[in-house]
């Protein structure tokens, strides 16, 4: 009888041990599956997010100006209107075969002032303070900024630049982001002495070369995830996230559209964060936004 009791107990113990090990094994297996599924979802999300980001350039090739989609070191030409209906050509060109131009054709260039508390704040409840820059002030990365006669106090202003993608008038703030085609990196160079003494800012903000912009129009990024970084002679002098912007793009677009018809290719400089300082002959100034691009220019006192 005692032997049977021991046998029964041993059998029960083995059964419990088996069930424990089996259950533990199933739990570990389930945990492994969950981890693998999670990693797979993260990978798929990352791939889909990366796939959504597109960069377009405007270029000259064979006497023709057109847009193209950047594909590594090559360009896939746009057939049709980039800002309306288009297809991508089956043929591609090497970047070395083309001359990359300013990202947009001549149009209106708007700008927001006092848009970061770290620089100089305006009230979030007020209308965004706006001004304009001349298209002729725009220059590409790599071109020298030649100081005009009398310019002794030229400051850098690293900024995000919005590219308008459709004709827009009297749009609501709720719908305004539908007017955004993409983003650039810009440097709203400003001669502070002229800005303070002139009745209008046209000379201080729009002298030739006072609007460096990056070449590639970037789509598929959320401006709230972006951070502008400005380097003066390789030293970081500005760095701030776009989340701290006082007047966001939607508000600015809605406001402008009450008074001006915004058209495809129009630009909006969104304001600069932090402190600025005067540039000197020979200085190199770079503004970059990870995921969007960069624009680098050297200052020259002599043409």
User: pLDDT (tens digit, 9 = 90+) per residue, 162-201?
Assistant: 999 999 999 999 999 999 999 999 999 999 999 999 999 9
pLDDT value of residue 27: 47
Could you tell me where the DSSP H helices lie in the chain?
Answer: 2-52, 192-197, 202-206, 249-256
pLDDT value of residue 258: 99
pLDDT at 19 over 50: no
Residues 124-162: tens digit of each pLDDT = 678 999 999 999 999 999 999 999 999 999 999 999 999
- According to the CATH classification, is domain 53-100 in 3.10.400? no
pLDDT-based confidence at 23, cuts 50/70/90? low
Chain centroid to Cα 269, Å, comes to 11
Buried/exposed 92-104: b ≥16 CB within 10 Å, e otherwise: bbeeeebebbbbb
Q: Which one is predicted more confidently, 2 or 261?
A: 261
Residues 29-49: tens digit of each pLDDT = 456 665 565 555 545 554 444
How does the average pLDDT of the chain come out, rounded? Answer: 89
Domain boundaries 109-300, CATH class: alpha beta
pLDDT at 13 over 80: no
- How far is residue 33's CA from residue 38's CA, in Å, rounded to a whole number? 8
pLDDT value of residue 94: 98
pLDDT value of residue 239: 97
Whole-structure pTM value: 0.83
pLDDT value of residue 299: 98
Range of lowest pLDDT (43-47, 214-218, 229-233) = 43-47
Q: Which one is predicted more confidently, 97 or 38?
A: 97
Residues 242-279: tens digit of each pLDDT = 999 999 999 999 999 999 999 999 999 999 999 999 99
- How far is residue 118's CA from residue 120's CA, in Å, rounded to a whole number? 6
Cα separation of the two ends of the chain: 111
pLDDT at 9 over 90: no
Closest CA to 281 of 137, 146, 142, 189: 146
- How far is residue 172's CA from residue 32's CA, in Å, rounded to a whole number? 48
User: Residue 134, Cβ neighbours under 10 Å: how many?
Assistant: 16
pLDDT value of residue 41: 53
pLDDT-based confidence at 119, cuts 50/70/90? confident
pLDDT-based confidence at 10, cuts 50/70/90? very low
- Residues 77, 91: contact at Cβ < 8 Å? yes
* φ/ψ of residue 88, rounded to 5: -100, 135
């Amino acid at each position: 009888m005692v032997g049977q009791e021991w046998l029964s107990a041993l059998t029960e113990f083995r059964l419990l041990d088996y069930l424990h090990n089996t259950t533990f094994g199933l739990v570990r297996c389930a945990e492994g599956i969950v981890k693998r599924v999670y990693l797979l979802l993260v990978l798929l999300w990352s791939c889909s997010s990366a796939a959504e980001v597109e960069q377009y350039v405007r270029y000259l090739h064979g006497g023709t100006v057109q847009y193209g989609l950047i594909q590594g070191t090559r360009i896939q030409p746009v057939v049709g209107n980039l800002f309306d209906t288009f297809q991508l050509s089956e043929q591609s060109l090497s970047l070395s075969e083309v001359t990359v131009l300013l990202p947009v054709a001549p149009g209106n260039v708007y700008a927001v002032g006092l848009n970061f508390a770290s620089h100089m704040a305006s009230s979030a409840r007020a209308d965004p303070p706006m001004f304009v820059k001349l298209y002729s002030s725009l220059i590409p990365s790599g071109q020298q900024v030649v100081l005009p006669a009398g310019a002794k106090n030229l400051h850098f202003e690293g900024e995000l630049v919005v590219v308008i993608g459709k004709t827009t008038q009297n749009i609501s703030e709720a719908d305004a982001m539908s007017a955004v085609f993409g983003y650039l990196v810009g440097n709203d160079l400003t001669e502070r002495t002229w800005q303070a003494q002139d009745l209008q800012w046209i000379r201080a903000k729009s002298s030739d070369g006072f609007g460096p912009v990056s070449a590639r129009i970037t789509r598929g990024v959320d401006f709230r995830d972006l951070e502008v970084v400005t380097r003066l002679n390789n030293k970081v002098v500005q760095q701030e996230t776009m989340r701290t912007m006082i007047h966001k793009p939607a508000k600015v677009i809605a406001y402008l559209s009450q008074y001006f018809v915004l058209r495809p290719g129009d630009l909006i400089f969104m304001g600069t964060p932090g402190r600025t300082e005067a540039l000197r002959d020979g200085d190199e100034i770079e503004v970059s936004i990870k995921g969007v691009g960069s624009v680098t220019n050297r200052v020259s006192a002599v043409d």
